[in-house]
């Protein structure tokens, strides 16, 4: 994992079902190792997301704008580590991530946190907590290349007492130093006609929990995910 931290990388995401994931994993075992921490291969994460009062980050993502950021606190529950994380998507399609260790999740950014955000991203002004989510993650590391695969499942979103659980959805993410279409994972999904998706867990949560927010750009994706959920519930 240390050799494939990939803090400057390309990201390619896919939407799968749990059943598709179960069929896929055995086909990857010869090329990838699975991360195991203290005997468990399913790591639990919780995340607190921050945005402008008018959901500027959400809207920029939905419009596909480059040079955008995502601000979050993420807790790696099994190892009891929490980080303030800044993800910058630049105009070359690369994701650059900065992070610093903090004590725990919080609904507010401290003055020290705000200073760090400004230093790393140039952002100042009001940033407020918008929602939280939790999920379980399976992480695979390629045996030869600088490449990681993550599969996020058991997603749930929460805001002010409103809860939304996604039972069948799996968000897969291919993280590479440089995008390679010939990697085994990409070729398998292409053969199954599963194409890359521009999907963000934050934006998905906002669209699901915020009744009055603009959703034109994400409506088709929501319909697809709802159909997937309804057709694949246990």
Position 228 scores a pLDDT of 86
Q: Is 167 exposed, middle or buried (0-12, 13-18, 19+ CB in 10 A)?
A: middle
pTM of the model as a whole? 0.92
Q: Note whether 125 and 147 are within 8 A (CB).
A: no
Six token digits for residue 96: 């650059």
Position 3 scores a pLDDT of 47
Q: Name the residue among 146, 137, 191 with its Cα closest to residue 10.
A: 146
Q: State the fold for domain 2-231.
A: mRNA Triphosphatase Cet1; Chain A (3.20.100)
- From residue 197, alpha-carbon distances to 15, 102, 108, 189 in Å are 7, 32, 31, 12
Six token digits for residue 216: 């034109």
Q: Which long-range contacts (CB under 8 A, 24 or more apart) does 177-181 make?
A: 177/6, 177/9, 177/10, 177/145, 177/146, 177/147, 178/10, 179/10, 179/12, 180/145, 180/147
Distance CA 23, CA 102 (A): 38
Q: Name the residue among 198, 193, 230, 202 with its Cα closest to residue 217.
A: 198
Position 177 scores a pLDDT of 81
Position 232 scores a pLDDT of 77
Position 2 scores a pLDDT of 54
Q: Note whether 107 and 135 are within 8 A (CB).
A: no
Six token digits for residue 28: 């990857």
DSSP state for residue 218 in the 8-state scheme: G
Position 7 scores a pLDDT of 65
Position 234 scores a pLDDT of 53
Position 233 scores a pLDDT of 66
- Mean pLDDT of successive 10-residue segments in the chain (234 residues)? 61 93 95 89 96 96 89 94 94 89 96 96 94 97 90 96 93 87 89 91 95 90 88 69
């Amino acid at each position: 994992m240390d050799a494939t931290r990939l803090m400057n990388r390309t990201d390619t995401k896919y939407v799968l079902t749990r059943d598709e994931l179960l069929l896929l994993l055995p086909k990857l075992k010869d090329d990838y190792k699975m991360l195991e921490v203290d005997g468990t291969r399913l790591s639990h994460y919780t995340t607190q997301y921050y945005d402008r009062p008018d959901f500027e980050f959400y809207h920029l993502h939905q419009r596909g704008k480059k040079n955008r950021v995502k601000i979050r606190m993420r807790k790696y529950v099994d190892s009891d580590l929490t980080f303030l994380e800044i993800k910058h998507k630049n105009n070359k399609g690369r994701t650059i991530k900065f992070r610093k260790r903090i004590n725990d999740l919080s609904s507010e950014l401290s003055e020290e946190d705000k200073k760090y955000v400004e230093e790393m991203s140039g952002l100042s002004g009001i940033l407020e907590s918008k929602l939280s989510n939790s999920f379980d993650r399976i992480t695979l590391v390629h045996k030869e290349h600088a490449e990681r695969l993550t599969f996020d499942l058991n997603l749930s979103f929460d805001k002010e007492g409103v809860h939304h659980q996604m039972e069948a959805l799996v968000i897969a993410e291919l993280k590479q130093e440089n995008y390679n279409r010939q990697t085994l994972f990409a070729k398998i999904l292409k053969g199954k006609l599963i194409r890359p998706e521009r999907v963000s867990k934050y934006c998905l949560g906002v669209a699901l929990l915020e009744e009055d927010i603009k959703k034109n750009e994400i409506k088709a994706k929501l319909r697809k995910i709802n159909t997937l959920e309804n057709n694949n519930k246990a």
